[in-house]
Each structure stands twice: as C-alpha cells, then as structure tokens.
C-alpha cells in the first residue's frame, strides 16, 4: 500500500478513536448528570416532606402548649436570675446586729434600730455615762462599723441616758 493511503487509514483510525473516546466520555458525563439530577430530585422531595412534617408539628396544639410552657419557664428563669442578683447584693444584717449585741453590756438597752442600706441608726438607753462611753469606744474600735456619729447630747446626763448613734457598716 502506498504511504499516503496508510497515512489516510491511520488518520481515520485516530479519528475513530477520538470519536469513540469522546462519545464514551459524553455518555459517561450524561450518566453522571442523570445520577446527580436524580439525587437532587430525591433530596428535594425529602426536603419538602420534612418541611411538611415540621409545619405540621409547629401548627399542632401540643407545640403551642410547649411554646407557652417554654415562655413561662423563660419568664421564671429571668425572675430567678433577678432574685439571685438581688440576693448577692443583699447584706446580712443579722450578722451586724449580732456583732452589735456582742459589744453591749447589761447597762445598755436598745430601743430602736433603723437600717437604711449600709447606714445604721441606733437608739437606746444607758444606765450610766461610763457604760455609754465604753459602748461608744467598743463601736469605734469594732472592725464591722465605721463613721460613728455620737452627738454630745448623749453624754450630758450622768444616769438613765437616752442615746442615739449613727454609723455605717463595713462591707465584709
């Protein structure tokens, strides 16, 4: 065979190979796209089905009851958080009253105690001026009280003295 015909036949074989592999690749791509589209349709149908179930559950009376219950629980939780915050800010006045009574003797009697935040106002009666002075010094030296205000009128009488002290609490 002449070399031109051989070249022609070889080029036709190469063309047929390219055509075969191109067609095979096209079929492979089409099969792959068909699989992808079927998976996409399947997932779309599943998504719509799940969305329908979710919509049904959201509109059910039980879900409404659960939503109301959740709102109530959230409200109670907010109130508890507020209560806990107030409780952390609360001063234990009983501790300070106990420390105050530890400083007193039998000669000192309390009539009234006013508490306003960290400020105490104490009114009472002392049998003697010396007992009142001792109590005043004990209050001034105490690590629990500060800024003791003692009017001079408390010390004018010798016996049966009505007194009034104002002071602040030292935070623990």
Residues 6+ apart with CB under 8 A from 103: 135, 138, 139, 142
Q: Give the bridge partners for 146, in sequence order.
A: 168
Average pLDDT over residues 30-56: 94
What's the whole-number average pLDDT of the chain? 88
Rg, the chain, Cα only: 47
- Distance CA(68)–CA(71), nearest Å, equals 5
Q: Which residue has the higher pLDDT, 16 or 115?
A: 16
Average pLDDT over residues 38-61: 90
Q: pLDDT band at 85, cuts 50/70/90? A: confident
Q: pLDDT band at 91, cuts 50/70/90? A: low
- Distance CA(132)–CA(138), nearest Å, equals 10
Q: Which residue has the higher pLDDT, 166 or 59?
A: 166
DSSP state of 171: P
pLDDT over 90 at 6, yes or no: no
Task: Render pLDDT for 95-117 as a digit per residue (tens, 0 to 9).
Answer: 888 888 888 889 999 999 888 87
DSSP state of 92: -
- How many C-beta atoms lie closer than 10 Å to residue 103's C-beta? 17
Task: Render pLDDT for 119-164 as a digit per residue (tens, 0 to 9).
Answer: 889 999 999 999 999 999 999 899 988 999 988 888 888 889 999 9
Q: Which residue has the higher pLDDT, 172 or 3?
A: 3
């Amino acid at each position: 065979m002449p070399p031109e015909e051989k070249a022609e036949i070889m080029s036709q074989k190469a063309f047929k190979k390219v055509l075969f592999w191109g067609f095979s690749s096209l079929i492979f791509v089409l099969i792959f796209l068909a699989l992808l589209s079927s998976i996409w349709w399947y997932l779309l149908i599943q998504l719509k089905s799940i969305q329908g179930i979710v919509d049904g559950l959201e509109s059910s009376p039980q879900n409404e009851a659960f939503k109301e219950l959740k709102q109530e629980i959230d409200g109670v939780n907010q109130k508890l958080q507020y209560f806990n915050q107030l409780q952390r800010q609360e001063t234990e006045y009983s501790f300070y009253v106990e420390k105050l009574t530890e400083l007193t003797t039998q000669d000192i009697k309390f009539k009234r105690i006013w508490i306003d935040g960290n400020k105490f106002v104490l009114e009472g009666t002392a049998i003697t001026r010396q007992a009142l002075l001792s109590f005043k010094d004990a209050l001034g030296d105490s690590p629990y009280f500060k800024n003791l205000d003692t009017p001079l009128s408390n010390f004018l009488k010798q016996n049966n003295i009505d007194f009034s002290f104002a002071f602040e609490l030292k935070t623990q």
